[in-house]
Amino acid sequence: MKIGSVKIDVPVLLAPMAGVTDYSFRVLCREMGAGAVYSEFVSADGIIRENTKTLDLIRFNEIERPIGVQIFGKDSKSMSQASRYVVDMFQPDILDINYGCPVPKVTKKGAGSAALQDLCLMEDITLAVVESVPEVPVTVKMRIGWNNEKIVIPEAGERLQNIGVKAITLHARTTKQRYTGKADWDYIKILKESVSIPVVGNGDVRTADDMMRMFDTTGCDAVMVARAAQGNPWFFREAKARLEGQKVPSHPSVFDIAKMCCRHFNLLIENRGERTGTNLMRKHFSNYIKGFPGAAIFRQKLVTAHSLPEMRVILKEFLDKARAIDVVQEF
């Protein structure tokens, strides 16, 4: 598929996730076959103020391309200025507008999925961004509506396409659902049938089987994966094999998981420093270390470890344990 002029070799994308899709995780997912990756969502106001922490969320390496930077904001002026700044300073392949975040601290400010309550405001913001960065494809990630009484699909999709948006990712839940209940994939199909630009399906894709079923039932052009990839960047390797009709790789061994966990940890420390890196890795330990004897003990030790040296000692123990488990399983 193509988003504007950007070619996506594998139509399985890593979703933007706050506190998760930083440089270290994006690199691992790209190596495993993700067709494109996205930054954590970043505030337009923070970009304009040149807030260091905000700008650090945007920085990426060339090996991550194609990469999209996702921004959010409450008005057309700030979003236009922020878009121009991001493109001038970082040159991402895609600029994505967040109309999907359901978190109250974002929506109460009128940003994220709050725009679903006012399609005129959504149009104003989107047009301002499209006009400010004509050389980069602008995309949108959104939900189906604010609540079940205010569904905006397919009207919103048609408006966004007419403005010049090059692709739409649809998380098939309402804002009020947040991440609960069941995603209604019928709306992905409805959106796909109402626009000519690429539609990316999102929501309740937990396995490669789910991915294939979403393609089959909705006709979407690509699938975006979020929680299913946490602690499991191998998802993209399996997805790529399934789509290309190749032999599906075997599930990673416990030792494979341990090595990936250590690599993720080292990338985080290298990129974010000791203090930030160790704190950020705690959530990832919980995602990687599960499903084998003694997993809970190692997970608890790592999540509660007080220092980098302590974490490294425990990780070495984890590697040794994982190697021993795999040897036993071979027999």
Q: How far apart are CA 37 and CA 159, in angstroms?
A: 26
Q: How far apart are CA 210 and CA 186, in angstroms?
A: 14
Please state the length of the chain: 331
* 101 has catalytic annotation: yes
Please name the residues in contact with 288: beta carbons below 8 A apart, sequence gap of 6 or more.
Answer: 231, 257, 260, 261, 264
Please tell me whether the peptide bond between 92 and the residue prior to it is cis, using omega within 30 degrees of 0.
Answer: no
> With contact defined as beta carbons under 8 Å apart, do 136 and 95 qualify?
yes
Please name the residues in contact with 194: beta carbons below 8 A apart, sequence gap of 6 or more.
Answer: 153, 154, 157, 158
Catalytic residue among 101, 120, 261, 262: 101
Give helix 119-132 / helix 76-90 axis angle, nearest 10°. 30
Catalytic residues: 101
